[in-house]
C-alpha cells in the first residue's frame, strides 16, 4: 500500500522533472511582477522575493534538485562500488590504505566536511558535486567492500583466478552480479541522503547558486513570508519531504520483500 | 579487567589518531588550492605587493609543517589566530557561541532521550498494535523530513499562529535560565523531533530482539506481566545497545544544530561557521570544523567504550 503510494509519487516527480519546460507556465528566471504577490489565477502560487512565478520555479526546481542529487548518487556509486570491489578483490595493502582513508573521511561529520571544502574552494557546482560524491562514496565503499568480501572467498572466484582471469574480469563477471541486489537497495537510501544534503546546503546558501531554481534555496529566500501566516515557503520544503518519504517507503518495501526481514513478535 | 582495559586503551588511541588525521585534512585542505590562500582570497586583481603582505600576515611564508604545528599548538592553548573578515580573535568569537551551542544541544538531549526511551519501551510493549504502527509511520516520516521543514512548521504553528514561543531565539548571556529555556524552546523541539525517531526505533528493536530469547520465555511462563518483563528483565540487557544509540544521536545533534541555528538565528557555533563559509573566512571555518569534529569523534568514541565496558561477556571473561 505505502509502496504503491511511493511509486506513484516518484513517477509524478519524474514526469514533472523531465517535462519541466512544457509544464511550467513561465520561465525559470523570468521576472514577471512585483515581489511576494499573493496566490492568483495569473500566478497560481504567487511570486517569490524577486517577482518570479513560484509554481514555475517549483517545477524547474524539481528538475535541478533531483537531477543534481541523482547524478551525484550515480557518481558516488560508480566510485564507491568500484573501489570497494577492488579493495575486496586485491586485499593486502591496497585494501588497508583504501579502508583507512574511508575510516578517516567517515569520522568527520559530513556537513562539517562539506562546509570546510566549500569554504576553501568556493561554492561552485563542480566542487559541490565532487565534495558530496566523495562523502557519499565512502558509505558505498563500506557496503560494496563488505558484501564483496563474502563473494571473494567463494570457490568460483578462486576458480576464475586460477584460470588466469584478470582483475577486471573477476570484478565484472564474478563479484558484481552477486552484490547488485544489496547495492540497489542502498541506492534508494543514498539518494535520499544526497537529496536532503543538497537541500540543506542550498538552504544554507551554499548549494546551487542563483538564479537557478532549487527547493532548498527557495525556502530560504521566501522564509520571511511565514511571519504573515503564508505557507508558500513551506511548499518546496514539503516537496523535498514528500519525495524522501516516498523513496523510503519503496526501499522499506524492497528490503522486506528481498530479505523476508520481520520483527520477532 | 586487564583485557578490557587493553581494548579501551586501543580504542582511545585510535580516536586520537583519527583526530590527528582530521587536523591534517583541515589544515592541508587549503594547500589543494591552485596558488595559495592569499591569492584565492584577494582574487585576480591583486597586485603582487598586496599578495605578499597578506601572505606574511597569514604566515604563509613559513613552511607548511611549521604552520601546522603552530596551528595545532594554538588550538590546544586556545589561541586560534584572528578572523580574516573582521580581524577579531577567533577564540573570542567562538567562546560564547560554543557555550550557547552546548546549551541548546544539552536542552534538546534532556528532552529527547527520556522521550525516546519512553516511546520505545511503549512501542515494544504494544508491538504490532495500532499504536506501534502509528508511531512507526510517524518516525519513518520524520526521519525523511529536512530539518528546516520541521523548524518552519513549528515556527508557523507555535510562534505565529499560537504565539506561544518566539520564532527567533536571540539568546544572550545576561538572560535568566528560565528566559533562555523559553527562547530556545522551538530550536530544541526541532532537534528533538529529528533525533527522537531514530533513538526510539533502536530502543524498540533492542528490546524486541531480547524478547525472543529463552530466558524471557521462561519469565513469561511464570506468568509475570508484560510491563514487568520488559522493565525488570529485558531492559537491563538492552541497555548497552540503547546507550550506544543515544551517544551516536548526541553526536548527530552536534551537527544537526548547524541548520537549526541558522533557521532560528540562534547565536551559536553553527551559525558562525555557515557565515564564515559564505565569507570564505577560512581560519574561522578551520577552528569551527576542528571543534565540531572533535566533539563528534569524542561522542562516538564514548559510545564505543560504553558498549565495550557494559558488555558482560568482556567484563567477566571465562
The pLDDT tens digits for A48-70 are: 777 787 788 888 888 888 889 99
Give the largest CA-CA distance in chain A. 73
Q: Are B276 and A119 a contacting pair at CB < 8 A?
A: yes
Task: Summarize the confidence of residues B149-172 as an average pLDDT.
Answer: 76
Q: Are A107 and B153 a contacting pair at CB < 8 A?
A: no
ipTM over 0.90: no
- Same domain flag for B163 and B40: no
Q: Between residues B85 and B107, which one has the greater pLDDT?
A: B107
The dihedral region occupied by B65, where left means phi > 0, alpha psi between -120 and 50, and beta the remainder, is: alpha
- Same domain flag for B202 and B71: no
Counting residues of chain B whose pLDDT is more than 70, the rounded percentage is 89
- Same domain flag for B105 and B72: no
Say how many C-beta atoms besides its own lie within 10 A of residue B301's C-beta. 21
Q: How many CA atoms lie within 13 A of B36 on its CB side?
A: 16
- Total domains in chain B come to 2
Say how many C-beta atoms besides its own lie within 10 A of residue A23's C-beta. 15
- Same domain flag for B303 and B188: yes
- Same domain flag for B159 and B13: no
**Grid cell in block for residue A141:** 565503499
Using DSSP's 3-state secondary structure scheme, residue B87 falls into coil
Is B85 a domain residue? no
pLDDT in tens, A187-221: 888 898 899 888 888 888 887 777 778 888 888 88
Q: How many CA atoms lie within 13 A of A39 on its CB side?
A: 9
Give residue A57's Cα distance to chain centre. 20
pLDDT in tens, B11-62: 888 888 888 888 888 887 777 666 666 766 676 666 777 777 777 776 677 7
Q: How confident is the model at residue B313 (pLDDT cuts 50, 70, 90)?
A: low
pTM: 0.84
Q: Exposed, middle or buried, A33 (CB in 10 Å: 0-12/13-18/19+)? A: middle
Among the listed residues B178, B308, B198, B194, the one whose alpha carbon sits nearest the alpha carbon of residue B259? B194
CA B116 to CA B193: how far, in whole Å?
10
- Same domain flag for B29 and B119: no
Is B87 a domain residue? no
CA B65 to CA A71: how far, in whole Å?
38
Query: Closest Cα of chain B to A259: distance in Å?
Result: 17
The shortest CB-CB distance from B144 to any of A113, A122, A244 is to A244
Using DSSP's 3-state secondary structure scheme, residue B165 falls into coil
Task: Summarize the confidence of residues B109-121 as an average pLDDT.
Answer: 88
Is A264 a domain residue? no
CATH of the domain at A185: 1.10.3720.10
B309 φ, ψ (degrees, to nearest 5) = -65, -35
CA A16 to CA B58: how far, in whole Å?
50
Q: How confident is the model at residue A262 (pLDDT cuts 50, 70, 90)?
A: very low
CA angle A132, A196, B112 (to 5 degrees): 120
A47 φ, ψ (degrees, to nearest 5) = -120, 165
Task: Summarize the confidence of residues B210-216 as an average pLDDT.
Answer: 83
- Same domain flag for B296 and B173: yes
- Same domain flag for B65 and B191: no
Is the pLDDT at A258 greater than 70? The verdict is no
Q: Which positions ≥6 away from B115 have C-beta within 8 Å?
A: B192, B196
Task: Summarize the confidence of residues A11-28 as an average pLDDT.
Answer: 80
Is A85 a domain residue? yes
- Total domains in chain A come to 1
pLDDT in tens, A111-131: 888 888 888 887 788 888 999
Which of B41, B277, B290 to mutate: most A Cβ within 10 Å? B277
CATH of the domain at B179: 1.10.3720.10
Kindly report which listed range (A6-20, A226-240, B157-171, B295-309) carries the lowest average pLDDT score: B157-171
CA B259 to CA B270: how far, in whole Å?
7
- Same domain flag for B35 and B184: no
Kindly report which listed range (A34-38, A191-195, B74-78) carries the lowest average pLDDT score: A34-38
**Grid cell in block for residue A132:** 558530496
Q: Are B289 and A116 a contacting pair at CB < 8 A?
A: yes
Q: Which positions ≥6 away from A249 have C-beta within 8 Å?
A: A2, A3, A5, A6, B140
Is B84 a domain residue? no
Q: Are B143 and A122 a contacting pair at CB < 8 A?
A: no
Task: Summarize the confidence of residues A144-172 as an average pLDDT.
Answer: 87
Is B81 a domain residue? no
Task: Summarize the confidence of residues B195-207 as an average pLDDT.
Answer: 84
Is B230 a domain residue? yes
- Res A264: pLDDT: 36
Is the pLDDT at A76 greater than 80? The verdict is yes
Is the pLDDT at A263 greater than 60? The verdict is no
Is the pLDDT at A238 greater than 70? The verdict is yes
CB within 8 Å of chain B, chain A residues 111-140: 111-113, 115-123
Q: Exposed, middle or buried, A198 (CB in 10 Å: 0-12/13-18/19+)? A: buried
Measured between alpha carbons, how far is residue B37 from residues A236, B29, B254 in Å? 37, 11, 29
Is the pLDDT at A148 greater than 70? The verdict is yes
- Same domain flag for B36 and B115: no
Is B20 a domain residue? yes
Kindly report which listed range (A145-159, B32-46, B182-196, B287-301) carries the lowest average pLDDT score: B32-46
Query: Closest Cα of chain A to B177: distance in Å?
Result: 27
B89 φ, ψ (degrees, to nearest 5) = -60, 130
3-state SS string for B130-176: HHHHHHHHHHHHHHCCCHHHHHHHHHHHHHHHCCCCCCCCCCCCCCC
Q: Between residues A20 and B33, which one has the greater pLDDT?
A: A20
- Same domain flag for B125 and B264: yes
Task: Summarize the confidence of residues B292-315 as an average pLDDT.
Answer: 79
Q: In this structure, what DSSP letter does residue B93 have?
A: H
Task: Summarize the confidence of residues B197-205 as an average pLDDT.
Answer: 83
Looking up cell 517545477, which residue turns up?
A59
Is A30 a domain residue? yes
Is the pLDDT at A80 greater than 90? The verdict is yes
Structural domain of B26: 2-76
CB within 8 Å of chain B, chain A residues 84-113: 103-104, 107-113
The shortest CB-CB distance from B262 to any of A204, A231, A233 is to A204
The shortest CB-CB distance from A111 to any of B205, B255, B276 is to B255
Query: Closest Cα of chain B to A92: distance in Å?
Result: 20
Is the pLDDT at A72 greater than 90? The verdict is yes
CA B180 to CA A68: how far, in whole Å?
40
Structural domain of A30: 2-259
CB within 8 Å of chain B, chain A residues 194-253: 196, 199-200, 203-206, 216, 219, 223, 226-227, 229, 231, 233-234, 237-238, 240-241, 244-245, 247-249, 252
Is B136 a domain residue? yes
Q: Between residues B253 and B171, which one has the greater pLDDT?
A: B253
Is the pLDDT at B227 greater than 50? The verdict is yes
- Same domain flag for B53 and B130: no
Is A265 a domain residue? no
Among the listed residues A65, A53, A55, the one whose alpha carbon sits nearest the alpha carbon of residue A202? A65
Task: Summarize the confidence of residues A83-90 as an average pLDDT.
Answer: 90
Amino acid at each position: 500500500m505505502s509502496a504503491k503510494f511511493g511509486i506513484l509519487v516518484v513517477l509524478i516527480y519524474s514526469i514533472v522533472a523531465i517535462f519541466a519546460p512544457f509544464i511550467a507556465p513561465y520561465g525559470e528566471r523570468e521576472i514577471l511582477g512585483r515581489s511576494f504577490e499573493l496566490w492568483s489565477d495569473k500566478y497560481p502560487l504567487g511570486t517569490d522575493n524577486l517577482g518570479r512565478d513560484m509554481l514555475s520555479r517549483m517545477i524547474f526546481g524539481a528538475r535541478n534538485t533531483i537531477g543534481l542529487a541523482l547524478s551525484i548518487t550515480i557518481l558516488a556509486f560508480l566510485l564507491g562500488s568500484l573501489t570497494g570491489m577492488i579493495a575486496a578483490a586485491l586485499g593486502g595493502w591496497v585494501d588497508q590504505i583504501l579502508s583507512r582513508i574511508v575510516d578517516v573521511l567517515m569520522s568527520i561529520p559530513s556537513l562539517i566536511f562539506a562546509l570546510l571544502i566549500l569554504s576553501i574552494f568556493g561554492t561552485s557546482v563542480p566542487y559541490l558535486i565532487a565534495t558530496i560524491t566523495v562523502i557519499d562514496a565512502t558509505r558505498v565503499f563500506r557496503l560494496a567492500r563488505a558484501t564483496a568480501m563474502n563473494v571473494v572467498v567463494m570457490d568460483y572466484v578462486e576458480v576464475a583466478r586460477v584460470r588466469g582471469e584478470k582483475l577486471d574480469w573477476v570484478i565484472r563477471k564474478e563479484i558484481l552480479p552477486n552484490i547488485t541486489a544489496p547495492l540497489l537497495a542502498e541506492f534508494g537510501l543514498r539518494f535520499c541522503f544526497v537529496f536532503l544534503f543538497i537541500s540543506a546546503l542550498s538552504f544554507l546558501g551554499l548549494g546551487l547558486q542563483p538564479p537557478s531554481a532549487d527547493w532548498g534555496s527557495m525556502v530560504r529566500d521566501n522564509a520571511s513570508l511565514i511571519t504573515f501566516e503564508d505557507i508558500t515557503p513551506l511548499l518546496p520544503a514539503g516537496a523535498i519531504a514528500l519525495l524522501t518519504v516516498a523513496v523510503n517507503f519503496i526501499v522499506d518495501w524492497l528490503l522486506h520483500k528481498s530479505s523476508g526481514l520481520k520483527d520477532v513478535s | 579487567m586487564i583485557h578490557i582495559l587493553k581494548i579501551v586503551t586501543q580504542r582511545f588511541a585510535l580516536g586520537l589518531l583519527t583526530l590527528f588525521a582530521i587536523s591534517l585534512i583541515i589544515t592541508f585542505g587549503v594547500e589543494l588550492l591552485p596558488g595559495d590562500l592569499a591569492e584565492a582570497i584577494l582574487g585576480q586583481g591583486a597586485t603582487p605587493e598586496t599578495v605578499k603582505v597578506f601572505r606574511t600576515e597569514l604566515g604563509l611564508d613559513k613552511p607548511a609543517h611549521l604552520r601546522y604545528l603552530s596551528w595545532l599548538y594554538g588550538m590546544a592553548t586556545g589561541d586560534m589566530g584572528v578572523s580574516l573578515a573582521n580581524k577579531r580573535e577567533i577564540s573570542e568569537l567562538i567562546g560564547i557561541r560554543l557555550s550557547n551551542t552546548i546549551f541548546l544541544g544539552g536542552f534538546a538531549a534532556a528532552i529527547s532521550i527520556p522521550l525516546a526511551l519512553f516511546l520505545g519501551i511503549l512501542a515494544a510493549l504494544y508491538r504490532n498494535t495500532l499504536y506501534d504502527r502509528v508511531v512507526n509511520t510517524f518516525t519513518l516520516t520524520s526521519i525523511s523530513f529536512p530539518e528546516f521543514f520541521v523548524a518552519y512548521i513549528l515556527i508557523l504553528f507555535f510562534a505565529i499562529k499560537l504565539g506561544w514561543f518566539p520564532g527567533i531565539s536571540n539568546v544572550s548571556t545576561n538572560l535568566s535560565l528560565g528566559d533562555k529555556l523559553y527562547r530556545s524552546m522551538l530550536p530544541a523541539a526541532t532537534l528533538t523531533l529529528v533525533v527522537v525517531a531514530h533513538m526510539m526505533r533502536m530502543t524498540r528493536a533492542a528490546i524486541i530482539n531480547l524478547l525472543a530469547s529463552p530466558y524471557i520465555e521462561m519469565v513469561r511462563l511464570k506468568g509475570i506481566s508484560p510491563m514487568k518483563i520488559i522493565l525488570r528483565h529485558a531492559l537491563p540487557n538492552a541497555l548497552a545497545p540503547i546507550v550506544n544509540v543515544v551517544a551516536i544521536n548526541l553526536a548527530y545533534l552536534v551537527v544537526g544544530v548547524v541548520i537549526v541555528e541558522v533557521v532560528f538565528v540562534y547565536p551559536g557555533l553553527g551559525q558562525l561557521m555557515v557565515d564564515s563559509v559564505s565569507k570564505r573566512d577560512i581560519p574561522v571555518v578551520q577552528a569551527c570544523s576542528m571543534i565540531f569534529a572533535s566533539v563528534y569523534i569524542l561522542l562516538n568514541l564514548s559510545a564505543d567504550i560504553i558498549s565495550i565496558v557494559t558488555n558482560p561477556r568482556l567484563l567477566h571473561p571465562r
